[in-house]
Structures are given as structure tokens and as C-alpha cells.
């Protein structure tokens, strides 16, 4: 199936290219054995970093702290400067998916419950339990919080709201997701236990059931990161595939020997509600994209989620833009 693909502006492309050339990315990954390892995407070197003491299902990074969610309901705070666990939070959750939002951890489980957690106190600030699907993947992009599960459906809620609505559907059980400047990547397998998966490409501002392209990969796609213009796709077999998302070609495969269930950039994923081009910066490109979306009356421009496109959406966008990251 084919969907209309949004053209990234020349300015956005130049910014992305400059960012890619400026720095390499280190990817952190972990799995059931509770050890943390790192992949240097430039050299291909894999290094042991430390132990978190639990079977890891999810992870996210903020302010030089790696938060690790384990299958037993613990969230470990792991200091990336010392490679040591500095604290833990106990939740009634299997922590299937996790993201950082503002000053909160967003933790989701296989029952479809989302908890907004204060990482300083461990208190649950609020809970959403009406998603109607298990949650195996989570992402933040263009003013939205996205979740996906084995129902093959990805849902979206405006950040700051809990009204999750179906956004995109693919032909596989969703295992992981990622975003770049104009694309939402959903990765999944058709059946439990499959050793090969599929990457589905969607216009991240439109979603729907029509995907722009698909790429096969020899992995059960348990974790995925978009970095430096490439997709890094990990699986329980311990391999990390480096894929060109434009062509689906595999550039390199890194054999880690670790059952990988979670992966994240050491620098962290920037979760700015107004960062519509996924560059990690707020600038005129984000404003231009918002204006285009507003004129086209597309979902990410309805920033207050009331179904209308009016002054209140512009006002809220300006508020979250000036609020920064």
C-alpha cells in the first residue's frame, strides 16, 4: 500500500545532515540477563557497561541517567557517569515500554496501563487504563504520545491529555517504534516467536492504514532507534541491524551475543512537544511544519485536541514552543 509522503524542506534536510556529521551515537542496550552494554555506531565496538539486577524490558535516558524498566516491576536509575545503579522504584507493572516526558517517566505495561511516575519520589502522579490494547512500544513526537501493541495498532494522544485514538495500523504485532523528520517507523512480527520482522513506514503526521513502504529484516525487532539518518534494529538473537530507512538496505550487522529487549541512545531522545522535525532542536523548521499542518488541518496541529483548528491551537503551540525541551 502507498501513502502520500511529506517532503522534508531543504532547510530541514540540511539541519539533519549537519547533525549527523557532527557526532556519532552510542546506543545502550539490555535484556533479560540484566546487563547493560553499549554499541559505538562509528567504530562498531561493543562494550560492557554494568549490571542493573533485573530482566530489562524497556529503557529511556534523561540528564545522564539511564532508567531501566524490568519485567518484575522495578525501575532502576543507572548513573551513566559511573555505570552504577543509584536507586530503584517499585511499580505494579511489567514495564513493557517507557519514555521520558518533561519531568516524568511514562511507563506502560502488557495490560495496557500507563503510569506517569515522578522519578524523584517514585510516586505515580496519574494513570491511564483505557487504552484497550497491550503496550509493547512507546514514543514521543510532534506533540503526541504514541503507544503500540500486539493488536498491530498504534494509538496517539496529544501530550498532556489521555484521550488515545487509533493513529496507524500495520500488518504485524508491534514490537518497537521510532521517528525521524517525517516518518513513523513501526516494527513488528506477524506471529509470536517469528525470527524475522517487518519495518512499516508511515507519514508521521497522517498515520492511517496506508503505509509508504515496508522493509523486511532478519530480526524479531524487539527494539529500534533512529539515529544519524539510520535505523538501528535489535532482536532477541543479539544482532543489531543498521538499516538505511530510505531503501531498506542493511549497511552493517553487529553481533552482541545479548538477548536485546530494550535500546536507547546514550545522549537520550529529546522529548520536546514542539519538536516536529525530530531534530532535537526548536527552530523555524518546527514553526514552518506546524503552519503547514495547521493549514492542512492535520492531527498534530490540533494541539488542544478539541477537533477544531483555531486560535487556541496556535496559542498552545506557541506556549509549548517557548517552553522548550
| pLDDT computed for residue 204 by the predictor | 92
The residue assigned the cell 557497561 is 49
Least confident stretch, 15-29, 98-112, 212-226:
15-29
Query: The whole model's pTM is what?
Result: 0.86
The whole-angstrom separation of Cα 100 and Cα 117 is 10
Average pLDDT of the segment spanning 285-295: 91
| 185-212: average pLDDT | 92
Establish how many alpha carbons lie within 13 A of residue 303's alpha carbon, considering only the half-sphere containing its beta carbon. 24
Could you give the CA distance from residue 315 to residue 308 in angstroms, rounded to a whole number?
13
Most confident segment among 153-167, 210-224, 284-298:
210-224
Percent of the chain with pLDDT over 70: 91
Quote the DSSP letter at residue 172: S
Average pLDDT over residues 95-123: 92
Q: How far apart are CA 220 and CA 223, in angstroms?
A: 9
Give per-residue burial for 67-87: e unless 16+ CB within 10 Å, then b.
bbbbbebbbbbbebeeeebee
Cα–Cα dist 309/293, whole Å: 10
Residue 76 grid cell: 532502576
Contact criterion met (CB below 8 Å) for 301 and 213: no
* pLDDT tens digits along 137-164: 999 988 889 999 989 999 999 887 888 9
CA separation for the pair 46, 48 (Å, rounded): 7
- Greater pLDDT, 279 or 267: 267
In angstroms, what is the C-alpha Rg of the chain?
18
Return the residue matching grid coordinates 536507547: 264
Could you give the C-alpha distances from 30 to 84, 243, 290, in angstroms and in order?
14, 20, 36
Cα distance between residue 259 and residue 279, in whole Å: 30
* Per-residue pLDDT, 178: 96
**What CATH code would you report for 10-265?**
2.130.10.10
pLDDT in tens, 215-266: 999 999 999 999 989 999 999 999 999 999 999 999 999 999 999 999 999 9
Q: Confidence band (pLDDT; 50, 70, 90) for 322?
A: confident
Element (H, E) at 16: helix 10-22
Alpha helix positions (H), 251-283: none
Nearest Cα to Cα of residue 216 among 189, 251, 236: 189
Average pLDDT taken over every residue of the chain: 88
pLDDT value, residue 276:
84
Amino acid at each position: 500500500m502507498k501513502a502520500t509522503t511529506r517532503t522534508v524542506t531543504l532547510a530541514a534536510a540540511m539541519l539533519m545532515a549537519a547533525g549527523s556529521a557532527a557526532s556519532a551515537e552510542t546506543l545502550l542496550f539490555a535484556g533479560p540477563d540484566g546487563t547493560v552494554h553499549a554499541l559505538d555506531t562509528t567504530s562498531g565496538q561493543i562494550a560492557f557497561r554494568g549490571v542493573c539486577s533485573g530482566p530489562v524490558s524497556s529503557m529511556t535516558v534523561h540528564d545522564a541517567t539511564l532508567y531501566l524498566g524490568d519485567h518484575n516491576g522495578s525501575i532502576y536509575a543507572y548513573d551513566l557517569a559511573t555505570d552504577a545503579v543509584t536507586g530503584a522504584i517499585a511499580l505494579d507493572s511489567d514495564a513493557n515500554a517507557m519514555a521520558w516526558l518533561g519531568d516524568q517517566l511514562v511507563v506502560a505495561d502488557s495490560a495496557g496501563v500507563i503510569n506517569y511516575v515522578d522519578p524523584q519520589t517514585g510516586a505515580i502522579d496519574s494513570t491511564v487504563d483505557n487504552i484497550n490494547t497491550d503496550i509493547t512500544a512507546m514514543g514521543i513526537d510532534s506533540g503526541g504520545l504514541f503507544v503500540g501493541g500486539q493488536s498491530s495498532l498504534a494509538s496517539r494522544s496529544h501530550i498532556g491529555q489521555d484521550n488515545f485514538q487509533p493513529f496507524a495500523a500495520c500488518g504485524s504485532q508491534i514490537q518497537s517504534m521510532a521517528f525521524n523528520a517525517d516518518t513513523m517507523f513501526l516494527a513488528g512480527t506477524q506471529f509470536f516467536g517469528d525470527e524475522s520482522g517487518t519495518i512499516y513506514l508511515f507519514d508521521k503526521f497522517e498515520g492511517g492504514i496506508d503505509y509508504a513502504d515496508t522493509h523486511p529484516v532478519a530480526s524479531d525487532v524487539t527494539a529500534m532507534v533512529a539515529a544519524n539518518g539510520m535505523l538501528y534494529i535489535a532482536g532477541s538473537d543479539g544482532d543489531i541491524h543498521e538499516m538505511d530507512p530510505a531503501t531498506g538496505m542493511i549497511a552493517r550487522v553487529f553481533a552482541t551475543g545479548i538477548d536485546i529487549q530494550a535500546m536507547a541512545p546514550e545522549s537520550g531522545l529529546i522529548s520536546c512537544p514542539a519538536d516536529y522535525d525530530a531534530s532535537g532542536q526548536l527552530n523555524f523548521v518546527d514553526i514552518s511544519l506546524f503552519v503547514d499542518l495547521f493549514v492542512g488541518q492535520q492531527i498534530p496541529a490540533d494541539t488542544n485536541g478539541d477537533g477544531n483548528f483555531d486560535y487556541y491551537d496556535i496559542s498552545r503551540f506557541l506556549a509549548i514552543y517557548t517552553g522548550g525541551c
